[in-house]
Amino acid sequence: MDLQHLTTFRTIAILGSFSQAADVLGYAQSTVSEHVRLLEAELQARLFKRAGNKRVELTQEGERLLIYAQKMSNLENQIKTEVNHPEEPHGTISIRIPETVSQYYLSSLFARYHAKYPGINLGLLDCVFFDLPEELQAGVVDLGFLIIDRYVTNNLATETLCPVPLVLVTYPGHPLANEPHVDLSRLKDGPLFVPSNDCSYTQTLERVLIEQKVKITRVWRFNSIAAIKKVMMNGTGFTVLPEIAVREEVEDGRLAILPWNDREVITGNLIMAWQQNKWLPPALLAFMQMTREELIAPIHV
């Protein structure tokens, strides 16, 4: 049985799409279809069924095969690491990580990690909230970090690392800057600034807005927290950010924190997620352990 065909099958099963699997694997869609056809011919079983809107689902036979395909993938990765380079880990570790985490929480970790594992390339990718489970299961990324109040999933192993205080922040001259507490309803005219690369805790904010029946019509999305802070310093907008990301600007008076209404406080936790029941290479396990150790020490901006 061809391992390449099993990899194609597993990727389709996780993503639910032949075309998405082709994009992830870098194949033509006809190649993906041929891999599945050959597997089905070898096993004399149908592996997928149509689910509508160009999606596919596993048949019962496909569900059984997926268990073994994952085991084969884990074993293949373990063999490559243990046999080819047992004493000098190499390769790339891809990590979905919010900008706040890489800049403020783990910035001092990377130099230490490189000194210990010089053969490992780290690929730090922007946060993706909704697609993270599928990407981890497909092997597109190896590890994910989220800033969110809670994260429940049946398909991933998760670990809560530390609390991440979130603040409601704006420019010092905002009309509500001196209020003892601020209802989100008083900010409905916005604009609300949302960072696209720190995406996970915005889901918590959206849930609170729905619960409080607050509709903010002006939402601006930025590709960096630095840009959001610069725009607010020029006298417009508000946002929700980790306190550590605005501490310096608040202390020197360039930004101002709006005190939460007690019933609307938004909290966050730093959560680490990885694929359940998957063999993890030693270099990845080391990164995870160094992350835990890094977060024990006090964090300074």
Give the helix/strand (H/E) hosting 26.
none
Q: What pTM did the predictor assign?
A: 0.72
Would you say the CATH fold of 91-162+269-294 matches that of 3-84? no
Rounded-to-5 percentages of helix, strand, coil across the chain: 45, 25, 35
Decide if domain 164-267 falls under CATH 3.40.190.290: yes
What residue spans define the domains of the chain?
Answer: 3-84, 91-162+269-294, 164-267
Domain 91-162+269-294, CATH: 3.40.190.10
Question: For residue 183, which phi and psi values (nearest 5 degrees)?
Answer: -75, 140
222-264: pLDDT as tens digits: 989 999 999 999 999 999 999 999 999 999 999 999 998 877 7
User: Residues of the chain whose pLDDT is less than 50?
Assistant: 300-301
Decide if domain 3-84 falls under CATH 3.30.1160.10: no
Supply the pLDDT for residue 69. 84
Asked if 177 contacts 187 with a C-beta cutoff of 8 angstroms, the reply is no
Supply the pLDDT for residue 279. 79
Supply the pLDDT for residue 300. 46
Tokens of 38: 């050959």
